[in-house]
Amino acid sequence: MMRLKISLLSLLLGCSLFGSEHGLPADENFQVETLVSGLMDTMELAVTGDGKVFMIERTGRIKLYDPVSKKTVQVAALDVAVRDKTRKFDNETGLLGIALHPDFTKNQWLYVYYSPAGMSHSQLVRFTFDGSGLKDEKVMLKIPRDRGNSICHEGGSVEFGPDGLLYLATGDNTNPFVSNGFAPIDEREGRKFADAQRTSANTNDLRGKIIRIKPTDDGGYEIPEGNLFPKGMAKTKPEIYVMGCRNPYRFTVDSKLNILYWAQVGPDASKKTERGPSGYDEINQAKKAGNYGWPYFSGANEAYADYDFKTKALGKVFDPLKPMNFSVNNTGLEQLPPAQPAFKTMRHSCTCVGPVYYSSAFSKSKNAFPESMDSSMFTYDWNNGRFMIIKLDDKGNKLWEEPIFKKHRFAHPFDIEFSPDGDLYVLEYGSGWYDNKNGTLKRIRYSKKAVAIDTKKLDPRIAGLPAGAPGTKMISESSCLACHMSNKKSIGPSYFEVAKKYSARKDAAEYLARKIISGGHGVWGDQPMPPHPQHNIEQTQQMAEAILKTKDMKEKAE
């Protein structure tokens, strides 16, 4: 009875009993509502000045949600290249990014980045929205891409900065699976698909970059001042603002300070060796143009050693002050700009960055997020769905960070954006790796009145694991959810398939526990399982025990 009284009192008093070191509201002050369901492999969203939401699906469809009618309509279906059944071609291609022109209300221009079917390039284009569909496609920029050989890392985010410049992120277009989690610098003949020196470290290539251009009214673009290389400089591309990126996935431009932030998915190395650093994700910050080091450096400029993939011999460690690109696949400058360290590093997962929030932009909204969240950048993890805010000062320096929305459940959040009235829209990709049909558009709305949260609601990716088991909880908070589901194959086998294969072994739990820590390759196909050294053997044994129970649970259910 006392616990019930305390619970009711806490709801009446708002967040006073929930507390936060930095004065943030309680999770109960944020209400999460699903607005649209049944989306397929959703990628990015863009919100109009009157609150409508454009949503894109990797398979080429562009949809528009109207918050007044609460209806969703399809406005276009582009013919795009998507992954083939062998998973050797076009692994991460398709319709990848969308942004609205700052004067969209007047000119109705929107910009998308996609991979045309049957082509060996991706392209940035401008469309005009006529109220029901898209017309007048103007191709602004074509970026060549290599195909086959399990190549991935396409990037694709598109966004405008507050000064009207358009940014586009591109990945290194390289196979990341054949370098043992270290720098992909394979210079052997016929292996350029495994050499990111031809892209990220190539000053004459637009892959592995963040591009910055100034769109013109005729559908073309100009080169703005302050990019990394001046127009006309030999062996360079003037569109480059940032180079040395692996797979820059989701970026934002601070609407007040005009600072660029982007998240970078890291490599899979389980620990630091003489070849180079352990794998981890980065959040990067660019106050001006620069080189961010890939594939020669990672994190705080931790250097890789030059490595001969033919002889297995280690060479010199790369120098961040004077990085040199001597690859046979390089068409650009040999001496590169000095490498810049990451703004923040974290354990390997799949970190994304969202907007920097300023309460002054929503001063007329009754649902605006509180001033305690002012000047904070929202970050989120595609794997485990966790959100974080990073508090910034007036120069973009980090003051502190703290988790937010901890009690709410998100399945592969892939893009977030504030609406004009101060709500935060969240686009969920869906539970699997490809061909999802359960993507959603959700709305997070702040309220001074706290509302109880149903914390028993399961993430759809762990439905089928034993509820309440310690191992289930750890799986729900780990990067395992990137590749596995309980009863359905994703990029990796389902937990039921794993349990069925190994349950007859007397040492099944211990075997799987060690496999989770060390990773593996070849048991379930070409896709490797990255190691998880952040877990100890006791934790992974509990995870393995939860996985093994799925076989009995499914058989009983049948």
Helix (H), strand (E), coil (C) string for 362-405: HCCCCCCCCHHHCCEEEEEECCCCCEEEEEECCCCCEEEEEEEC
For residues 36 and 33, give the distance between their C-alpha atoms in angstroms, rounded to a whole number.
9
> What's the confidence (pLDDT) of residue 14?
41
Amino acid code (one letter) for 220 = G
Higher pLDDT, 346 or 423: 423
**366 located within any domain:** yes
CATH code, domain carrying 77: 2.120.10.30
Please check whether residues 28 and 45 belong to one and the same domain: no
Amino acid code (one letter) for 226 = G
Average pLDDT (123-152) is: 96
Instruction: Look at residues 532, 547, 368 and name the one whose alpha carbon lies nearest to residue 466.
Output: 547
**465 located within any domain:** no
pLDDT reading at 17 higher than 70 = no
For residues 495 and 464, give the distance between their C-alpha atoms in angstroms, rounded to a whole number.
9
The DSSP result for 447-466, as a single string, is -SS-----TTPPPTTTBTBP
Query: Before 230, cis peptide (omega within 30)?
Result: no
Please check whether residues 11 and 87 belong to one and the same domain: no
Average pLDDT (216-241) is: 98
Please check whether residues 147 and 123 belong to one and the same domain: yes
CATH code, domain carrying 546: 1.10.760.10
Please check whether residues 317 and 228 belong to one and the same domain: yes
Please check whether residues 487 and 434 belong to one and the same domain: no
**47 located within any domain:** yes
Please check whether residues 324 and 400 belong to one and the same domain: no
**Strands 109-114 and 121-129, how do they pair?**
antiparallel
**Distance of CA 528 to CAs 97, 345, 400, 491, Å?**
27, 23, 36, 10
Please check whether residues 384 and 290 belong to one and the same domain: no
pLDDT reading at 109 higher than 60 = yes
Average pLDDT (151-155) is: 94
For residues 475 and 529, give the distance between their C-alpha atoms in angstroms, rounded to a whole number.
15
**513 located within any domain:** yes
Half-sphere exposure of 150 (CA within 13 A, CB side): 11
Please check whether residues 405 and 496 belong to one and the same domain: no
Which domain does 212 fall in, by range?
39-349
Domain boundary among 349, 383, 412: 349
User: How many other C-beta atoms are found inside a 10 Å radius of the C-beta of residue 469?
Assistant: 15
Please check whether residues 355 and 383 belong to one and the same domain: yes
**413-418: strand order across its sheet:** 30-39, 439-446, 424-428, 413-418
**499 located within any domain:** yes
Q: Which two tokens stand for residue 73?
A: 């309509």
Task: Find all residues with CB under 8 Å of 210, minimum gap 6, and list them.
Answer: 167, 168, 169, 170, 240, 241, 242, 245, 248, 251, 260, 262, 286
- Per the CB < 8 A criterion, the answer to whether 323 and 261 are in contact is no
Instruction: Report the predicted TM-score, pTM, of the whole model to 2 decimal places.
Output: 0.87
pLDDT in tens, 307-362: 999 999 999 999 999 999 999 999 999 999 999 999 999 877 789 999 999 999 99
Q: What is the dihedral of CA 190, 207, 63, 265, to 10 degrees?
A: 90
Amino acid code (one letter) for 534 = Q
pLDDT in tens, 471-528: 777 777 776 776 787 777 777 787 878 878 888 888 877 787 778 777 776 676 666 6
pLDDT in tens, 54-103: 999 999 999 999 999 999 999 999 999 998 877 778 889 999 999 999 99
**461 located within any domain:** no
pLDDT reading at 395 higher than 80 = yes
- Per the CB < 8 A criterion, the answer to whether 12 and 412 are in contact is no
**460 located within any domain:** no
pLDDT reading at 195 higher than 80 = yes
Please check whether residues 91 and 31 belong to one and the same domain: no
Number of domains in the chain: 3
**Strands 158-160 and 424-428, how do they pair?**
unpaired
- Per the CB < 8 A criterion, the answer to whether 502 and 512 are in contact is yes
Residues above pLDDT 90, as percent of the chain: 68
Domain boundary among 282, 317, 349: 349
Element (H, E) at 76: strand 71-77
**Strands 398-404 and 413-418, how do they pair?**
unpaired
For residues 482 and 137, give the distance between their C-alpha atoms in angstroms, rounded to a whole number.
35
Please check whether residues 151 and 177 belong to one and the same domain: yes
> What's the confidence (pLDDT) of residue 3?
43
For residues 114 and 142, give the distance between their C-alpha atoms in angstroms, rounded to a whole number.
10
Domain boundary among 349, 380, 399: 349
* Residue 167, φ and ψ in degrees, nearest 5: -110, 145
For residues 295 and 277, give the distance between their C-alpha atoms in angstroms, rounded to a whole number.
12
**459 located within any domain:** no
Q: How confident is the model at residue 2 (pLDDT cuts 50, 70, 90)?
A: very low
Give the relative orientation of helices 495-502 and 508-518 as an angle to the nearest 10 degrees. Answer: 130
Asked whether the CA dihedral 66, 461, 95, 269 is positive or negative, the reply is: positive
- Per the CB < 8 A criterion, the answer to whether 219 and 135 are in contact is no
Higher pLDDT, 231 or 435: 231
Element (H, E) at 533: none
Please check whether residues 427 and 541 belong to one and the same domain: no
Residues above pLDDT 70, as percent of the chain: 91
- Per the CB < 8 A criterion, the answer to whether 135 and 163 are in contact is no
